Amino acid sequence: MRVPRCLLFFTYLNFTTLRLALLQAMEQRLGGLSAEMAYNTMLALFPTILATIAAIAIFEESLQATFLGVIQQLAGRGNSSLELTFRDLVTQLKMFAPDMAWALVKSVVAEITQTKSKSLFSLSFLAAIWIASSAVGAAMNALDQIQRIPLPYRRPFWKSRIIAILLTLGSIGLMVMASFLVLMGDFIFKFSLSLIFQLPELLNNLPGVAENSFSADNAKALTARIVFFLDLWGLLRWPVALGIVSTSFAFIYRYGPSRRKRGTPIVPGAILAALSWACISGLFRLYVNNFGHYNRVYGTVGAVIVLMLWLYMTSLVMLLGAQLNTTIGEKMLAKSSKPPLNFEVRRDRVDKPDKI
């Protein structure tokens, strides 16, 4: 049975390929390149937080006047505010982040939460994008090195920076979607459940609907359907979020290198990198919260060390996925290409003229 070309790379996912990819990663010094990416990401993290908090502070009144009023009517939160809603979302985020790293981020947020300056928002946002694009630029240089692209064939600085900024914006958008699905899924689930029990009253009060026309049986049937979809959403939000993360990696693998080698796959490295990232993040959080005592070793900078380690592992996993793609592509090319001719045989044939 012939394997489809789009799935051919799965036949090369074995222990030998993984071992060869790790050896090539050590040869390419991906550990040092991952440290460079983690450093630039660390520099961009707090400007990004500053931009987010400044945006919330600037647009708080307009958001409260539009969306918050509707939420209060539907959920019955008479004393709700944007700050309380933000705290509910932050509580969900805390469940997935290492405690020490979370304490560091929380202290920074507490200092800038009262800022309402549009100029501060603009400057911090531009600084965050520029510094974050430096991290993506480091990833692009690493991808060029992984694919062994000579320096004369690499992109010029201005073109590389523009592509890095575009990839940064796209990756941020995809990562925000993934974080929203994973970290805030429980909040949405509980909020939706609170709305279900008020559906009969809300539907009966709609204009043009007769009073009590929405019977208890209809309400029960509708509630059962909504609960089914919510349960299904609770099961699918993790796979969907991992799919978004792998899509973000795939975009960087596709458009990051200056010249992409023909036949190099994208999917296997992106999928394995996303799965490895989820597993490593979960294990690292478990270790830090239960076994790691960084404060005893590093003192007050222990939280910074924890955050840097997590960013380093994330960068390393992404580069290892790119190296795996390159290794699989080289093996596929070597198998599909014809073997070279035996030049000694050809020389013998030239030296010995044909008999007449």
Instruction: Determine contact, residues 49/101, Cβ cutoff 8 Å.
Output: no
Instruction: Determine contact, residues 257/144, Cβ cutoff 8 Å.
Output: yes
How far apart CA 193 and CA 198 sit, in angstroms, is 9
Q: Which two tokens stand for residue 72?
A: 């209060």
* pLDDT band of 320, cuts 50, 70, 90: very high
> Could you report the per-residue pLDDT of 159-201, keeping only the tens digit for each?
988 998 888 888 777 766 665 665 566 566 666 666 666 666 6
> Kind and range of the H or E element at 94?
helix 82-94
Instruction: Quote the pLDDT of residue 108.
Output: 60
Ordered by start, the domain boundaries in the chain are 5-335
* pLDDT band of 319, cuts 50, 70, 90: very high
Write the single-letter amino acid at 164: A
- Mean pLDDT over 45-64 rounds to 56
> Kind and range of the H or E element at 9?
none
- Mean pLDDT over 130-150 rounds to 85
Q: Where are the alpha helices (DSSP H) in the chain?
A: 15-27, 30-58, 60-63, 69-75, 82-94, 99-112, 118-146, 157-183, 185-196, 199-204, 216-255, 267-290, 294-298, 302-336, 343-351
* pLDDT band of 116, cuts 50, 70, 90: low
How far apart CA 54 and CA 59 sit, in angstroms, is 9
Instruction: Quote the pLDDT of residue 314.
Output: 87
* pLDDT band of 317, cuts 50, 70, 90: very high
* pLDDT band of 342, cuts 50, 70, 90: very low
Instruction: Quote the pLDDT of residue 162.
Output: 92
SS (H, E, C) 117-170: CHHHHHHHHHHHHHHHHHHHHHHHHHHHHHCCCCHHHCCCHHHHHHHHHHHHHH
